[in-house]
Structure 1
Amino acid sequence: MKAVQFTDHGERDVIEYGEFYPEEPGRGEVRVEMRAGALNHLDVWTRRGLPGLDLDLPHIPGSDGAGVVEAVGDGVDRFESGDRVAVSAGVSCGDCEFCRRGEPTLCVNYHIIGEHVRGVHAEQAVVPADNLVPVPEHVDWETAAAAPLVFQTAWRMLLTRGDLSAGESVLVLGASGGVGHAAVQVADYAGAEVYATASTDEKLSYASEIGADHVINYEEEDFAAEIRDRTGNRGVDMVVDHVGAATWHDSIKSLARGGRIVTCGATTGGRPETDIDRIFWNQLDIIGSTMATPGEVDDVLGLVWDGTFEPRIRATLPMSETAEAHRLLEERKGFGKVVVNPDKLYDV
């Protein structure tokens, strides 16, 4: 089979699309004939090399994908050959204290397909059956591939961890990215007043289309000052910040008293200076969130499958052009997700 892969960490030129040995599914595993994969910024970080991340090389990236079950291993009874499925990338051990109490995202052995172990950007992928979700017939492969990681992340971050309620106000930073555009939709669904930032008028227009009530061009305006001005100096109840060091100080400044920041990542760096005096004096909460539980995944993907939520696709490319897909993410080109399909699908 052919797969996207790299044998060393580095820039985009380390990405190859070539032959890779096919795997047989083991106990509890399923082999999927992939029809589409989707990228996340996680793929860029994994390619560059994350501190403490020790991968078996060559590594196949990709945490998002969808396809058809081709074979099942022993002990698998949820799926059979021909089933349409999508990948939910968070893997837990099922046996530690956190898993036993129903919090698998806190698992001491938690890892993510495509980051810590081999991913799914290939013609075929073997994954645990527990990490597959059924995809209805009416859902296209690009939507099925693009939705799981970002929508489950946004759902848990805003509704479970952040406890966002109708009537509250929320600021979503980087609304044109994968998690950002999902967070705008989840916040709107929850009945919140949604503020969103992006870097171009085109991206802001898209953000408005999917649920943002107010938009701010952060390249032209100080978003913290804008939030203060537009809320009568009150601030917002919640900030969704997955940007990190570049925005952290202004995110804290944007919060109302008693407000909270929810974060699932730090694309510009994870060691920002912070405002401890503002945090304690205004009684702010800082809340971390990672991925989602299986029940949360089912809840949010049900709303994707029925059309309530829409994964926006900014580009669809052959897997042999994955380096170009990485460029689109790194240079922040477009709005929404980038999808890659196995090259052989273009030959039929």
Structure 2
Amino acid sequence: MRAIVMGSYGSPSVLQPADVPAPPERAGWVTVRLAASALNWHDVLVRQGRYSSPLPHIPGADGAGVRIDTNEAVVVLPSLFWGRGDAAPGADWEILGDHHSGTYAELVTVPAECAVPRPRGLSLAQAAALPLVGLTTFRALFSRGRLRSGESLLVLGASGGVATTAVALATAAGARAIVTSGATRKIDAARELGAAGGVDHTESDWVEAARALTPRGAGFDLVLDSVGRWAESVRCLAPGGRCVVLGASAGEQATLPVRPFYFGQYELIGTTMGSPRDMAGLLRFLDDHTVAPPVIDRTFPLAQAALAHERLEAGTGIGKIVLTHD
């Protein structure tokens, strides 16, 4: 089969098309013939060697296609071996494309619970773009963040997959979403998805500007921080507010003043992708609500995965980048 293989860690140039053997059959696993796969920042970290993936390796976590044993249209749930508990994943949990061959290929083999029905009304590109960010964001907002209709949400960022998905899901649930960005066009794009407004997070007073957009300037009920700016995120909260953290692209360390934190009755909540039960909850949510589909920035042929990674790292796009497997 055709696939994108990285023979070493490094720049996008390590991603090269190659002919490789089809994945072997395994008891309890199913094979999906992929029509599209989507990029995530996680793929960049895999490519850079952050997860010590075996070499040579096929990266990729997201995909959409057909289950070859049943001919059912499916999307790939990239959360492997989550375990029975929902509070946190078990010790064996990993993301597809870390140590198991991923979705930058014609075929991928996954545990049977990880081939889930493709949601109605989505194109192949939109379906491929949904699982990782959809599941991650659904868990962050609802399973962990307990977002409710009528509450206010601040999303750090405006243009990435998590940010655009958060605005779409929160708006569908009846929450009021505000975003941050350093680019006016990205805030404008978020407004088109349903965001009520946005602030420029490159300005020194952006926290105050964001709080001013909440009722009576009281702050946000929930902040979604996918970059690691904890101190500023907590300052954006209303008394009793929750900050859900799911990334560290802007910082690996954070310092918080302790007294304001406990006097504010704040919650700091960590989260990651999600369980099969979270995925089932996302699919029910999509059935029960009118939700804007995943935003697609651009598509590339599978063979141009390196170019797709260059665009992802440039950070100029809005939404998800998708590889087509025609």
Deviation, 1:43, is 0.6
Q: Where in structure 2 are the equivalents of 1:295-314 lying within 5 Å?
A: 295-304=277-286, 308-314=291-297
Instruction: Describe the superposition over 1:290-343 as per-residue Cα deviations: whole angstroms up to 9, x where unpaired.
Output: 22232321232345478523100000001121122112221212211000012x
Q: Please name the residue that 1:236 is paired with.
A: 220
Structure 2 match to 1:43:
43
Amino acid at match of 2:194: G
Q: After the TM superposition, list the runs of 4 or more consecutive aligned residues in structure 1 that deviate by more than 4 angstroms.
A: 302-307
Aligned to 2:171: 188
Deviation at 1:252, TM superposition (A): 1.6
**Counterpart of 2:241?**
259
**Tell me, which stretches of 5 or more residues in structure 2 are unaligned?**
none
What is the aligned counterpart of 1:59 among 57, 65, 68?
57
Distance (Å, rounded) in 2 between the aligned partners of 1:20 and 1:54 = 21
> Residues 124-143 of structure 1 correspond to what in structure 2 (within 5 A)?
124-135=107-118, 138-143=121-126
Q: Deviations over 1:60-101 (max 9, x none)?
A: 111100111224xxxxxxxx1x2111101111264xxxx1xx
CA shift, 1:54, in A, is 2.8
| Counterpart-to-counterpart distance in 1, 2:256 and 2:42 | 24
Q: 1:147 to 1:9 in 2, by over 3 A?
A: same
State the alpha-carbon separation in 1 of the partners of residues 263 and 99 from structure 2. 39
Q: Distance in 1 between matches of 2:253 and 2:5?
A: 30
Of stretches 310-319 and 214-223 in structure 1, the one that deviates more from structure 2 is: 214-223
1:322 aligns with 2:305: yes
* 2:32 counterpart letter in structure 1: V
What amino acid does structure 2 have at the position aligned with 1:287? I
Give me the whole-angstrom Cα distance separating, in 2, the residues matched to 1:304 and 1:230: 28
1:215 corresponds to 2:204: no
Given candidates 176, 180, 186, the residue that maps to 1:203 is 186
Alpha carbons of 1:256 and 1:272: their partners in 2 closer, same or farther (altered >3 Å)?
same
Distance 1:152 1:183 in 2: 11
For 1:156 and 1:138, locate their aligned partners in 2 and report how far apart those are by CA, in whole Å. 22
Work out the CA distance in 2 between the residues paired with 1:329 and 1:339.
10
Residue 187 of structure 2 contacts residue 197 of structure 2 at CA under 8 Å; is this kept in 1? no
Match of 2:137 in 1: 154
- Could you tell me which residue of structure 2 aligns to residue 77 of structure 1? none
Matched residue, 1:7: 7
- Percent identity between matched residues is 37
| Change in CA separation of 1:139 and 1:187 when aligned onto 2, cut-off 3 Å | closer
Paired residues of 2:82 and 2:93 also in contact (CA < 8 A): yes
Aligned to 1:75: none
Count of residues paired in the alignment = 324
Q: How far 1:228 moved relative to its partner?
A: 3.0
Distance 1:224 1:83 in 2: 47
Q: CA RMSD in A?
A: 2.0
Using structure 2 for the length normalisation, give the TM-score.
0.92
How far apart, in 1, do the equivalents of 2:134 and 2:193 lie?
14
TM-score (norm 1): 0.87
293-302 or 159-168, larger mean C-alpha shift = 293-302
Task: Summarize the alignment of residues 273-284 of structure 1 with structure 2, pairs less than 5 Å apart.
Answer: 273-284=255-266
Counterpart CA distance in 2 for 1:249 and 1:280 is 14
**Distance in 1 (alpha carbons) for counterparts of 2:61 and 2:15:** 16
Using the TM superposition, give the Cα deviation of residue 198 of structure 1 relative to its aligned residue in structure 2, in angstroms: 2.2
